[in-house]
Structure 1
C-alpha cells in the first residue's frame, strides 16, 4: 500500500514537472539610457537587477529570459502577438492598443504608479508656458503611455496635439534631436533630466505635485494563455514583485533604491528630483485599486476619442487583483499601502 502511494505521488510530481515551462519570457517596454539591459522605477525592474525572479524559479529548473525593447510598448505588443513573451511590463496606452487589437492578456499588478511627464525646451527658448509653444515642433514618443498623459495635460490647458507640429520620436532620437536644436520642445519622462544635467535645456512643465490623473501608470501583465496554464507560477512571480514593492516602499531604502536604479544609465539626481515630495509607497504600490482601474478606463475612452484605437475597449475582466491580494495577505502587508479611489484620493 505504501509503495502504491509513493508511486502515485511520484507520478503526480513528474506530471507537474512536465507541465511546467522550461522558460518564462519577460519583456520590458523600455531600455537603459545607452542601451543597458536595465530598467528603473518599478519593483519588477529592481527584482530583475537583483536576480530575485531568477532565484524564485531556479529550484524548478525554470529559466527566466529578459528582453528590453527600444521600441517600448508597441514593440512589446508585437512580441506578445508573435508568441514571444509570457509576461510584460508596460504602460496603459500600448496595453489598451494591444487589447483593442485582440491580444489576450491579464493585468496582475500595478508596477510603477504616478510616473511624471516632462516638457523641456532649449535654455534660450522664450517660452514660459505650454501655450507659448503652439505651432512649434514638439517631439514625443507616440504609442506609449506618455502620449495619453500629454493628451490629458494639453486638455487641461485647453489644447490638443493638433495645436503643435507634433513629431514622433523614440527616446534616444528625441534626446538627440533636442540637443541638436532640431525641435523646439520635447515631451518625455525622467530621462529628460539627463538633458538638464548635460545642459542646454530646461524644464518648462512637469507633473510633479500635479493632479495624479495627469500622471503615467505602468503594470505587470501576463498572457491569458500563460495565466490559464500556470496560475501557480503567476502567483510566485507576483509574490516576488509584492515583496520587492514592500522593500521599495520603505523610506529608509530611498537612497539605496535610487543607487540601484543608476545601473539603467541615469544619474542618481534624476531619481532624487523625480521622486521629490512623493512617498515611495504611493509610487511603488502593487495594488490594483479603483484609481488604477479608472485611469485605464479613462485612457481607453481617450484613446478611442483621439482615434488611437478603432474599436472601444472594455476594461471589465482585464484586471485580476487576486494574485496581489493573496501576496499582500500572506506577507502581512495589509496596512502598508493606501487604496485610492477613482479620483486619486485615499479611501482608507
Structure 2
C-alpha cells in the first residue's frame, strides 16, 4: 500500500527531477509546463494514458512550447492518492495542468488552489456499485445499514450520494468504510464489506473473478450524473503565460480530433488501457453514444449544472468550507480559440448542450 508520506516524498522528488530535466544541457533555463495524468510505466519510462497519451505521442505540444522557451513534462500520480497531491501541487505552484476528477478539483478550489477547467470531457466516467456475487440485495434500499467501501473525497462519493438521494437515502444510512478502490474491492472479495463503490477497473476485476456483481452504475442513470474527469489548469499560470496555455489546450483539441475519428478508435482505447485494462474500457464505453461526440469540448451547459451539484454536495456535507465561484471554476473560454488553433474548426457542433444529459439509456 502507498502511504501518504511516501507519496508526498515521491511526488516531490518527481517534480524536482522534472525541473532539473527542463534545464539540462542544450536547453537553457526553460520554464517547466508540468501536466499530471494517469498512466503506466513501460521499461522504466512513464507513459500517460488517454488524451494526454495522444498529446505526448503526437509531439506537437513539446515542440511548440520549446519554441516559446518552455519545457513540457508529463508526470504520473497514483489514483489512490491523486486528488489531494494534485491539489497541493496547484497550491504550491509545482503543477501547471492536471487531468483529474470533479470532486477533488472542487475540494482543491475551495481550499485555495487557483483552478480553472481548460479542456472539458463530454464522455463522463462511469461509477459502479457492486455487491458480492451471492448477495440477495436487489436495490440500494436492501443495503441500508450495510457496510459499503467508498473512498471519501473522491469523485465516486458525489456520484453515489446523488444516487442515494434519488432513492430517498443518504450516506449516513450506510456504514461507510473509507478506503481506496483497490482496498475496497479486496474488502468486498474477502467478505469484509457488503458493497463496493468505485471505477470500472476494480468493478471489472471483481466481476471477472466472480467476486462481485453490479447492482447499479451510472450507465443506468442520467448522463449528467456521471463523474467528470478533465483537464484543469492553474489560473495564475494561464494569466501570466497565455500563449503557452493556449498551446496546451490546442494540443488537447488536436488529440481529441484525432481520437474522435472512427479509424482511430482502437488505437485510442489501447492508449487509454495504460490506466485500465482494454477489456474493462470496452465494457465501460459500450452503448455510450456516438464516438465522435464523446470528445466534443462544447458542453458548457452540462458542465455548469454538474459542477453546481458537486459544489452544493461538498458544501452541504462539510467537505468544503467555501464554495468556489462557479463562473470562474468552469471558465472554458480557452476552448474555442484552441480548437481554431488546432485546425479543428467545425469538427464538432458548437452546441453548449451536454449530449444525452437528461436521457436515461
Length-normalised TM-score, structure 1: 0.84
Q: Which of the numbers 168, 180, 195 marks the counterpart of 2:206?
A: 195
Instruction: For 1:22 and 1:33, locate their aligned partners in 2 and report how far apart those are by CA, in whole Å.
Output: 25
Alignment of 1:1-348 (within 5 A): 21-28=30-37, 30=38, 37=46, 40=49, 42-48=50-56, 51=59, 53-60=61-68, 62-70=70-78, 71-111=81-121, 113-191=123-201, 192-264=203-275, 266-278=276-288, 279-330=290-341, 331-337=343-349, 339-341=351-353, 344=357
* Post-superposition CA distance 1:253-305 (Å, at most 9, x none): 222221222222x3322111111111233432223511112211221112111
1:8 — aligned with what?
none
- Could you tell me whether the CA contact under 8 Å between 1:282 and 1:338 is conserved in 2? no
Distance 1:138 1:98 in 2: 25
Go from structure 1 to structure 2 and tell me whether the alpha carbon gap of 1:295 and 1:122 turns closer, same or farther (over 3 Å shift): same
Deviation at 1:345, TM superposition (A): 5.8
Q: Deviations over 1:81-115 (max 9, x none)?
A: 22221111112211111121122122111036321
Q: What is the alpha-carbon distance in structure 2 between the residues aligned to residue 46 and residue 157 of structure 1? A: 40
Instruction: Describe the shift of the 1:37–1:153 C-alpha distance in structure 2 as closer, same or farther (beyond 3 A).
Output: farther
Distance 1:112 1:294 in 2: 13
- CA 1:32/1:160 → structure 2, altered by over 3 Å: closer, same or farther? farther
For residue 319 of structure 1, report the CA deviation from its aligned partner.
2.9
Relative to structure 1, the CA distance from residue 315 to residue 241 in structure 2 (aligned partners, 3 Å threshold; closer, same or farther) is same
Pairwise CA distance, 1:45: 4.2
5+ residue gaps, structure 1: 1-17
Q: Quote the Cα distance in structure 1 between the aligned partners of 2:60 and 2:122.
A: 18
Asked whether the equivalents of residues 253 and 344 of structure 2 are also in contact (C-alpha less than 8 Å), the reply is no
Q: Is the 8 A contact 2:303 2:330 kept in 1?
A: no
Alignment partner, residue 13 of structure 2: none
How far did 1:37 drift? 4.5
- Deviations along 1:43-90, one digit per CA (max 9) or x if unpaired, are 224424665543443455633222322212122112222222111111
- Secondary structure at the aligned position of 2:112 is classed as coil
Q: Contact 2:293–2:348 at 8 Å: present in 1 too?
A: no
Structure 1 residue 246: deviation in Å? 1.3
Partner secondary structure for residue 328 of structure 2 = coil
